[in-house]
Amino acid sequence: MAKAIKRQAMGRGLSALLKDPENDIQSANDKNADKVVGNIVELEMDAIEVNPFQPRTSFNEDTLKELASSIKELGVIQPITVRKSGFNSYQLVSGERRYRASKLIGLKTIPAYIRIANDQESLEMALVENIQRQDLDPVEIAISYQRLLEEINLTQEELSNRVGKNRSTIANYLRLLKLDPIIQTGMRDGFISMGHGRALISVDDVATQLTIYEKIIENSLSVRDTEALVRKQQQNDTPVVSPSKVIPAFAKKATKEFSDYFDTKTEVKVSSSGKGKLIIPFKNKTDFERISKLIKGEE
């Protein structure tokens, strides 16, 4: 308990330092920056603004209330992370659920780690820390990965190192973004899991995707049931090549010769037993008579 009181007292001292205009720390090279950056500071809630780069877009009210109740009882156990945006003003990098829950119960201050970073660094920190620490849904994680690749210009290998995930894992998340938006929303709202989504990815036709998605919801299908349904659908959609379509090389060559000779596109069908048909189409009676004469050798 004494250690906790000491930490809080130190936090209050740093808070006073940050409110001193003569100690307006803007970079890691400024005086007293080493006393602030990386340390826990008690910051006023009103001095913190929500991070516009926050990847989480929705917050469950019930879980927020549960977290608020826990904070009221035990305090904020895990400090939030902020970056300095101006004199006595800060922008949230990670910990928005803790910040929102603290506001719900009317806290005036909140423990925070302070970092100094530009917007790009802030975006990267927000995305990486939220992926690692927050209970994001699969689509939010996929969007975060995509933003790190596109907006921070990370390679997949660099991204893998940043978030501590295999490249195959990252690829599986990114593939979820190829799903129809309705299915993505269902995943975000918890109607289906990431496993369901991964099964649906292999279905190319969007209408079929949605049909299977509706069956998952209506029948409460498991991931395994969904995978089986997808396989069945793909088998039904796969064109079966009949033996008559498999034309031997000798017949292919002869077909071209027949087509040239009769001046019409002839067709050869060969069964698996080797038997076949030669089809010579005609346009009208005159064309039929012309072909007949060629067959009889009259022309």
Give me 210's structure tokens. 């949605």
10 Å CB burial of residue 256 (0-12, 13-18, 19+) is exposed
Q: What is the pLDDT of residue 6?
A: 35
- Active-site residue 96, yes or no? yes
Tokens of 60: 């469950």
Average the pLDDT over 16-20 and give the result.
63
Beta carbons of 183 and 195 less than 8 angstroms apart:
no
**Phi, then psi, of 253 in degrees rounded to 5:** -65, -45
Active-site option among 96, 140, 218, 299: 96
pLDDT at 240 over 80: no
Q: Please give the model's pTM, rounded to 2 decimal places.
A: 0.46
Give me the count of residues in the chain: 299
Domains of the chain, with CATH numbers?
2-118 (3.90.1530.10), 179-237 (no CATH), 243-296 (no CATH)
Q: 34 or 11: whose pLDDT is higher?
A: 34
Q: Per-residue pLDDT tens for 105-117?
A: 999 999 988 877 5
User: Strand 109-115 relative to strand 89-94: parallel, antiparallel, unpaired?
Assistant: unpaired
State the pLDDT confidence band at 175, using cuts at 50, 70 and 90: very high
